[in-house]
């Protein structure tokens, strides 16, 4: 585990209710797991299934670890949130009345993203699949509070969630999120193109559109936006991998 994550956890041991540290821990575990564990698991599926499954299980544990920190962050401002989320997701979301919109929307995003990724890494776990509603409710509530947050990050998450879920996506709804994410980010988020390629072009077997979207992701200047530099680089790494696999993915 990176030193930075160990440091954040050591600081939390001293200040367990610090919302900023809790959100930093949530973001850190999710990004580390996605960039260095989960993506590697996907790469190994075709060559070493046992190793891929071990990595996926580790990714799930890390996502859930981050998720727990995110839930604790919301619990500080809205006591009872954690218990309510487990029993009544819409009721839990409604508790978040945006006393601090920027902080609360970030927390909702972190909690939703970490759980969505944990579910995606647990596709045969019925208990995890039963938590789909939590993700959808949290994303929808965060969008209702501030759909423009972080240059369209919530819309990007909605597209990624559509790609990860089983079954055919609502193409019109996903396209709406895609167009709004592009507008808010001014095309600076590579992940938006990758998510849309996987959510819409791949299921529809539209190879030309799929490849064009991934090329657009690769054309994004990852260094132009320092705050999203790592996210852009991770998205571009995934775009390259998907392009390499195009012959496998399309009939």
What are the boundaries of each domain within the chain? Answer: 1-146, 148-251
Given this model, what pLDDT does residue 98 score?
Answer: 77
Q: Residue 46 phi/psi, 5° resolution?
A: -75, -25
User: Using one digit for the tens of pLDDT, what is the confidence trace for 200-224?
Assistant: 999 999 999 999 999 999 999 998 9
1-146 against 148-251: fold identical: yes
Cα angle: 32, vertex 37, 39; to 5 degrees: 105
Q: Kindly report the CATH number that applies to the domain delimited by 1-146.
A: 1.25.40.920
24 in Cβ contact with 10 (< 8 Å): no
Residue 224: Cβ within 10 Å count: 10
Which residue, among 58, 89, 63, has the nearest Cα to 74 in the 3D structure? 89
Q: What is the pTM of this model?
A: 0.94
Residue 2: Cβ within 10 Å count: 11
Given this model, what pLDDT does residue 209 score?
Answer: 98
Tell whether the model's pLDDT for residue 177 goes beyond 90: yes
Arithmetic mean of pLDDT, 186-191:
95
218 in Cβ contact with 240 (< 8 Å): yes
Tell whether the model's pLDDT for residue 168 goes beyond 80: no
Arithmetic mean of pLDDT, 222-240:
93
Tokens of 158: 């909605």
Region of residue 187 (left: phi > 0; alpha: psi -120 to 50; beta: else): left
User: Using one digit for the tens of pLDDT, what is the confidence trace for 21-73?
Assistant: 999 999 999 999 999 999 899 889 878 888 989 999 999 999 999 999 999 99
Q: What distance in Å separates the CA atoms of residue 225 and residue 220, rounded to the nearest whole number?
A: 10
Fold of 148-251: 1.25.40
Arithmetic mean of pLDDT, 169-190:
95
CA atoms within 13 A on the CB side of 184: 18
Given this model, what pLDDT does residue 183 score?
Answer: 98
Tokens of 198: 């996987």
- Burial readout 164-190 (b: 16 or more C-beta within 10 A, e: otherwise): bbeeebeeeebeebbebbbebbeebbb
């Amino acid at each position: 585990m990176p030193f930075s994550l160990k440091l954040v956890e050591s600081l939390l041991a001293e200040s367990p209710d610090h919302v900023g540290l809790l959100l930093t821990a949530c973001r850190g575990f999710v990004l580390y797991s996605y960039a260095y564990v989960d993506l590697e698991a996907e790469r190994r599926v075709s060559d070493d299934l046992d190793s891929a499954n071990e990595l996926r299980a580790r990714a799930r544990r890390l996502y859930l670890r981050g998720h727990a920190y995110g839930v604790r962050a919301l619990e500080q401002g809205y006591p009872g949130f954690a218990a309510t989320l487990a029993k009544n997701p819409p009721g839990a979301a409604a508790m978040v009345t945006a006393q601090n919109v920027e902080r609360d929307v970030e927390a909702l995003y972190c909690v939703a993203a970490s759980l969505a990724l944990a579910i995606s890494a647990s596709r045969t776990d019925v208990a995890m699949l039963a938590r789909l509603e939590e993700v959808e409710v949290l994303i929808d509530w965060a969008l209702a509070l501030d759909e423009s947050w972080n240059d369209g990050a919530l819309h990007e998450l909605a597209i990624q969630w559509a790609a990860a879920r089983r079954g055919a996506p609502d193409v019109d709804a996903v396209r709406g999120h895609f167009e709004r994410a592009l507008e808010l980010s001014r095309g600076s988020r590579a992940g938006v193109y990758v998510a849309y390629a996987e959510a819409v072009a791949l299921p529809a077997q539209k190879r030309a559109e799929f490849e064009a979207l991934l090329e657009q992701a690769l054309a994004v200047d990852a260094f132009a936006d320092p705050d999203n530099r790592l996210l852009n680089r991770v998205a571009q790494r995934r775009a390259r991998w998907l392009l390499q696999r195009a012959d496998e993915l399309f009939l």
